[in-house]
Copies of this chain bind each other. A is one copy, B any other.
């Protein structure tokens, strides 16, 4: 069962040195308001767990945490979109933990699903072999990776009812998986509706996984924000 709180209250759940999963995919479907609050609160030494870096070019969404030097460790599959992040990694200001993207996803899923490890053939014959334990099953080689679990997950959904049942729009990408894999799960949503308004089949994340609901930008506001971003970066 979830509780609706303000972004100001929600950001207090994240402490210096917290590990924080951030939903979204390279800037899309990210919890923009919660990230802004984390920047405003100057929470330090964060371990950020995100499938990739922020929007291309840096300085947008998660890129703000980078510019503000709030990150000590980054667990991800891809940092290529944010030159500032790469610079801080090269300068050893940020520790980087990489895995292939599908492996990253399964590690987070395993963290939420109580599984002991991820066993995948992806990465065999590459440097990724150094990032995991190699095991042999029926004479075939696999890599064994450990699950990922976080102190806090901040995720983005379209809307929520007051029980924390979440509905997604479009590509939900990492959000439903990360909703399962943290001690405290904060969902930022476009709108909050009455219980029963979201049909049982339309619920992408049941409220059992969600602790706090935060009103984010409305859908119309997000549409404006993204159109402006896409136009200014020549994508629309």
Contact = CB atoms under 8 A, between A and B. Distances in A.
Interface of A: 106, 110, 113-122, 135, 137-138, 140, 142, 144, 146, 168-170, 200-202
B116 A137 contact: yes
Contacts of A120: 114-116
A82 B6 CA distance: 53
A122 B201 CA distance: 29
A56 to B, nearest CB: 25
A137 B142 contact: no
Given A170-B201, A201-B170, A106 B115 contact: yes
Contact of A119 (B119, B122, B140, B200): B119
A140 B121 contact: no
B116 A119 contact: yes
Contacts of A117: 119, 135, 137, 142
Nearest to A124: B116
B119 A169 contact: no
Contact of A116 (B113, B115, B121): B121
A157 to B, nearest CB: 12
A181 to B, nearest CB: 16
A125 B169 CA distance: 43
Contacts of A201: 168-170, 202
Most buried by B among A116, A140, A144: A116
A158 B9 CA distance: 42
Which 10 pairs from chain A and chain B are nearest by CB?
Answer: A116-B142, A116-B119, A117-B119, A116-B137, A115-B120, A117-B137, A116-B121, A115-B119, A116-B120, A119-B119
A24 to B, nearest CB: 17
A170 B200 CA distance: 8
A120 B138 CA distance: 19
A159 to B, nearest CB: 12
Contacts of A137: 116-117, 144, 146
Nearest to A172: B201
Given A106-B113, A117-B142, A201-B202, 15 more contacts: A106-B115, A110-B119, A114-B121, A114-B122, A115-B118, A115-B119, A115-B120, A116-B135, A117-B135, A117-B137, A118-B119, A119-B119, A119-B144, A169-B201, A202-B202
